[in-house]
A and B are shown apart, each in its own frame.
Chain A
Amino acid sequence: MTIPEETLMAYADGELDPEARREIEAAIAADPELAKRVERHQALRRKIGSEFDPVLMETVPESLVSAVHGAPSKVAGKPAHEATVTDLRRVRAARAAEAKEAAASARRAATPRGRWTWFEWAAVAASLAAGAVIAHFVLRSPDGAQLVSRDGQLVAQGDLDKALSNQLAGDRGEDAPVHIGVSFRSKAGNYCRTFVMNGSSPMGGLACRKNDAWAVEVLAASPADASAGGEYRPATSMPAAVAAAVEQQIQGEPLDTLQEAEARADGW
């Protein structure tokens, strides 16, 4: 029986209906060569995943986050056929200016004030604007991966999952692999918590409880502590992208210790 490559590929991608799937499975069972071809399709998919998935853990440039919150620019409103070239050139020209502005606003944000007063550790450093890429920290953590991709969503596991489920905010064992910053109810009604994963390249993030797991919604390089070697630990600094996500998603005030303990007892 000759099976077209496209059909084998669709089988490998889980695209066939049950009947066609059964036919292919019977053919594969009778022909190891077919099994090898299917495996090759799956192997390529895995290879592509391992090439591009680390992008998910890179720091999202601040300029993109602010673009989402910014007013639509005049250029973007032009007809598409003439907009693009102008767009990209303008974007590139603006990059340097934006980096400068981001650094300046990070300095401003470093002093908690106004609506940020509750956010006791909204220390935001300019290093975030520098956009250090730390993709491999999480993937190659000695304790095994702390994040997995499931249905297109990053989900906490290992130490991170344990800390999100069990650790109270502000529990700061000096050597704990994960510190929890603040816990709150989101506007969607579920519990969310910010965290910092310690290590040679600390990362901060926001995780929300979904389907009995902690879905990691934001992950960014944690700003390095400016006073390296001093008393102040980098574990307390939270990337601006995380702070912005908290501000958007929080419903009311963050949980106090008692509310947090109750939420934990209820399994979030």
Chain B
Amino acid sequence: MSQPAGEIREQLVALLPRLRRFARALSRNVDDADDLVQVAIERTLTRLDQWRPGTRLDSWMFGIIKNAWIDEVRSRRRRERVLAPEEAGAQVADAAGEAHIERLSLAAAMDRLPDEQRLAVALVLVEGLAYKEAAEVLEVPIGTVTSRLARGREALEALLGGREGGTS
């Protein structure tokens, strides 16, 4: 039997602070992060009947936010390619140069991680999911999560500490 929708809504409200934290780890801009949560909520409400009682609501929501974020990142990149391909290329080069000189803030460093590494870091290190749980949210094998997480950590260390290439 499915849970009454009212109960799920209650649980969703209680989850909002964590959903916002997860979204913030993906999207540095506060408004963009909240927009992601809002889109995820709206998508969730249209598919409450797909919710399987006994499974974790937080993991389910993280998966929906993840998909919304990936969609947004893709469409933004499409727009950028159409609008200003050269300018975008120049920005990437600047960003790489800057990383060598100054130590980045953690938020800025997270921002530079490849999407898949950022997702692994956000689920495991920000939200405290076990590797197995993160693998379920990301729909990849646990070994994939482990290696993305290891590479993400190494990149963060390098960006934060100015370390050259992370661990040897």
Q: Which residues of A contact B (CB under 8 A)?
A: 5-6, 9-10, 13, 15, 37, 40-41, 44-45, 47-49, 51-53, 55-58, 60-61, 63-65, 67-73, 75-77, 80-81, 83-85, 87-88, 91-92, 95, 152, 154, 217-219, 241, 244-245, 248-249
Contacts and interface: CB of A to CB of B under 8 A. Distances in A.
Given A37-B167, A67-B41, A92-B35, A55 B24 contact: yes
B153 A68 contact: no
B123 to A, nearest CB: 12
Interface in B52-110: 67-68, 71-72, 75, 106-107
Interface string B22-64: 0011000001001101110111011000000000000000000
B42 A75 contact: yes
A248 B10 CA distance: 7
B131 A10 contact: yes
Contacts of A84: 39, 68, 71-72, 75
Interface residues of B, number: 49
Contact of B25 (A52, A85, A219): A52
B72 A218 contact: no
Main SS of the interface on chain A? helix
A9 B13 contact: no
B38 A67 contact: yes
A9 B167 CA distance: 12
Contacts of B41: 64, 67-68
B75 A52 contact: no
Nearest to B39: A87
B130 interface: yes
Contact of B125 (A45, A58, A64, A70): A45
B1 interface: no
Contact of B20 (A6, A60, A73): A60
B140 interface: no
B32 to A, nearest CB: 8
Contacts of B131: 10, 13, 15
A267 B21 CA distance: 33
A152 B18 contact: yes
B137 interface: no
23 contacts: A5-B150, A9-B153, A44-B156, A52-B25, A53-B21, A58-B17, A58-B20, A60-B16, A64-B34, A65-B16, A67-B42, A68-B16, A72-B42, A72-B45, A76-B46, A84-B71, A84-B75, A88-B72, A92-B35, A218-B14, A241-B13, A244-B13, A248-B9
A97 to B, nearest CB: 14
Contacts of B46: 72, 76-77
Contact of B42 (A53, A76, A244, A249): A76
Given A10-B131, A218-B14, A76 B43 contact: yes
Interface of B: 6, 9-10, 12-14, 16-18, 20-21, 24-25, 31, 34-35, 37-39, 41-43, 45-46, 67-68, 71-72, 75, 106-107, 121, 124-128, 130-131, 146-147, 149-150, 153-154, 156-157, 160, 167
B21 to A, nearest CB: 4
A189 to B, nearest CB: 14
A80 B71 contact: yes
B13 A245 contact: yes
A167 to B, nearest CB: 24
Nearest to B146: A6
Contacts of A61: 34
Contact of B67 (A49, A80, A154): A80
A219 B37 CA distance: 18
Nearest to A245: B13
